[in-house]
Amino acid sequence: MSTVVDDHNHEAHHDHKPSGITRWLFTTNHKDIGSMYLWFSLIMFFVGGAMAMVIRAELFQPGLQLVEPQFFNQMTTVHGLVMIFGAVMPAFTGLANWMVPMMIGAPDMALPRMNNWSFWILPFAFVILLSSLFMEGGGPDFGWTFYAPLSTTYSNDSTALFVFAVHIMGISSIMGAINVIVTIINMRAPGMTYMKMPLFVWTWLITAFLLIAVMPVLAGAVTMVLTDKYFGTSFFDAAGGGDPVMFQHIFWFFGHPEVYIMILPSFGIVSAIIPAFSRKKLFGYSSMVYATASIAILSFLVWAHHMFTTGMPVFAELFFMYCTMLIAVPTGVKVFNWVATMWRGAISFEVPMLFALAFVILFTIGGFSGVMLAMTPVDFQYHDTYFVVAHFHYVLVTGAIFSIMAASYYWLPKWSGHMYDTTLARLHFWSSLISVNVLFFPMHFAGLAGMPRRIPDYAVQFADINQITSIGGFAFGLSQLIFLWLVIKCARGGEKAPAKPWDGAEGLEWTVPSPAPYHTFETPPKVE
Amino acid sequence: MSNQGPDNSKIVKRLLLTVAGMFAFGFALVPLYDAFCEVTGFNGRTNNEPAAVSQHEVDKSRTVRVQFITRTAQGIPWKFEPEIKEVRVHPGEVRVVNFLAANPTSDDMVAQAIPSIAPAEASLYLNKVECFCFNQQPLAAGNDAEMPMQFYIDPEIPDHITTFTLSYTLYDMTANATPESLALLESTE
């Protein structure tokens, strides 16, 4: 696809940078900021994971053993917020920071100072959110969806902190998105036309537009919650002429595009890895681009499928049901393309490929349960049960998180300059793969049998299923420590990685040495 | 570095405008939602304005069952019930149904009833000539009251709606009482 003419000697005379903490505080280098995003995301993954462990420990047996119900609710709420806004989204932004400039042959992001800001406000948002857990009355306990009136009439005093934390997270992701868009529009190397861009760049471009469109709506929703709670407005208060159902409409108008924000970059990652280890070009490149765009557009027309049980007219239910099922078509195109890419390829099973393959299969399972949930009549049974929990964890954990793991294993040699311990990596993969299914698959059955979500206690007939689920949960949590150890080990040393450790890999990022020099592509590469 | 397209600051400006626009759109959804509900009957809200007295002919060929449900929100210990749980009316026929409210507490209180109709579609055809839900309802400590609701059903109501339920939820508005309700409270003492 591309070659670089002159890239020697970069490292030699451009690699000076401030040392110590100021390097990280004041850096405008996309690689530094990318690394900080990725480390932050990893820390948040363990923070949110610790909360999941509390949840699974409490649910190990029926009855209340370990925590108070109100604290349990805080755990489910903050687990969701931390994993979405702290783990998955910053991981994608970190990957975009590292990879987008290198993939399009740009020397850095277009707006480096704003890039520094968009990262550094993020830790403050999470300090605010997490410290609210230690307040008198506790942290937010109304679910990550903060439905009114739970978050207005019935919420505790930490709600203001929750609102400000979400504002800051929103500002951070909007700045990140603006940066990605400007970079992609203006910084492509000569010859890097839109239809030559790697799919990770394409999917991130579309994701960035989704972020620009819906994060402000989320900011509006939390602002309305804030004024309803503290300033006497009645946006969602029926007594004052407002409507709590309207909260759900506004929230899910943000919330549904948000779920695609958390999966489209995964599609880009998997579309890079599968061709590399199948040693074939990606099947149906342009259909991938159009499918991504279609998913993004459709994501604005399906929000009310989260609200089938609110008593909508049948016509509206049918409209949202059909639009939702329509999303299965472009998603199916993608899965088909990945399978077709592997068809008759010379496949090898390095760790990134293992995660990518697990992604394709397990994300598709999550997609199928999504189609089940899309059907209005059956949704009345599944709504707010563990079936929903199973569904969105299949698309988010074995979907988004597995793709982030795949990306890490794919590009870690490029970032660190070292090959990682593949034995540990394989151990991480297999233990994660098995435990994640022990964790989430039985949840489908618990949900179908009627176990409601977000409860600290449950009827005894669900005891066995929850015990299995919890064991899977603990195993999955422990497996991630292998990943942490592996990343630390790889960052500190190891076998020197060549510029292109994967023989089938394509793209400009493999034309620079490993580790990627501090400054790359100061002279734009030539793209054929 | 920019080699194609407009320069960075232009794109940033446009994107920031989009962000501001979408933030405003979030708030614009509030009146839009209200207007949408009013036009389509979505979500079962009813008018808060009195309807004109029925000029329609009574359609004796049909009867519609209208059921009444009452509920009190958290924090208001009033008794609140319809005098009759269900009426059968011909479209166009004007009926009065009384709702009984009692304030058993030792405090003067002000309440507001919020209506909702299921199925939502029926809300387009329910016309209230007079309703206690149009205003706040003050009740002195220990008092009770009979609150009337006068309505008729638009004869245009589609044939498939044979039954609908009108529900009222009573909210405590003592802290946000209007001057009129406070004046009414004083006059009863």
- Whether A187 and B42 lie within 8 Å, measured CB to CB: no
User: Residue B5: which of A186, A216, A238 has the nearest Cβ?
Assistant: A186
Q: At what angle do helices A69-81 and A30-58 cross, to 10 degrees?
A: 150
Mean pLDDT score across all residues of chain A: 94
Phi and psi at A75, nearest 5°, equal: -65, -45
* Token pair listed for A227: 């004024």
Cβ separation B30–A246 shorter than 8 A: yes
User: Is the confidence at residue A254, as pLDDT, over 90?
Assistant: yes
pLDDT exceeds cutoff 70 at A492: yes
**Coil, helix or strand for B103?**
coil
- Please give the Cα distance from A507 to A520 (Å, whole number): 14
- State the nearest Cα–Cα gap between B152 and chain A, in angstroms: 23
Q: Return d(Cα A330, Cα A189) in angstroms, integer.
A: 30
Q: Strand B109-118 to strand B137-139: parallel, antiparallel, or no bridges (unpaired)?
A: antiparallel
Helix (H, G, I), strand (E, B) or coil at B66: strand
Contact A186 B1 (CB under 8 A): yes
pLDDT band at B45 (very low <50, low <70, confident <90, very high): confident
Domains of chain A, CATH where assigned: 2-527 (1.20.210.10)
Return the pLDDT at A9: 44
Q: Please report the residues numbered 117 through 136 in chain B whose beta carbons come closer than 8 angstroms to any beta carbon of chain A.
A: 118-121
ipTM: 0.90
What average pLDDT is seen over chain B?
Answer: 88
CA-nearest residue to B47 within chain A is: A241
Convert the pLDDT of each residue in B168-178 to its tens digit.
999 998 888 88
Q: Does B169 touch chain A (CB under 8 A)?
A: yes
Instruction: Give residue A15's pLDDT.
Output: 61
| Min distance A210 CA to chain B CA atoms (Å) | 11
CA-based nearest residue to B111, from B167, B170, B169, B166: B170
Residues A186, B22: C-beta atoms closer than 8 Å? no
Query: Taking the CA atoms of chain B, what radius of gyration do you get in angstroms?
Result: 23
Given pLDDT bands bounded at 50, 70 and 90, which one contains residue A5? very low
A212 to chain B: nearest residue by CA?
Answer: B19
Percent of chain B residues topping a pLDDT of 70: 95
Active site residues of A: 79, 108, 144, 172-173, 256, 258, 260, 271, 305-306, 331, 334, 453
Please report which helix (H) or strand (E) contains residue A336, including its range.
helix A314-342
Query: What's the rounded mean pLDDT across residues A269-287?
Result: 97
3-state SS, A209-233, equals: HHHHHHHHHHHHHHHHHHHHHHCCC
For chain A, the residues whose C-beta falls within 8 A of a C-beta of chain B are 106-107, 110-111, 153, 174, 177-178, 181-182, 185-188, 190, 212-221, 224, 232, 235, 238-241, 243, 245-246, 249-250, 253, 311-313, 316, 524
Cα nearest neighbour of B14 on chain A: A178
The Cα of B102 is separated from the nearest Cα of chain A by a number of Å equal to 19
Q: Under an 8 A CB cutoff, do B22 and A212 touch?
A: yes
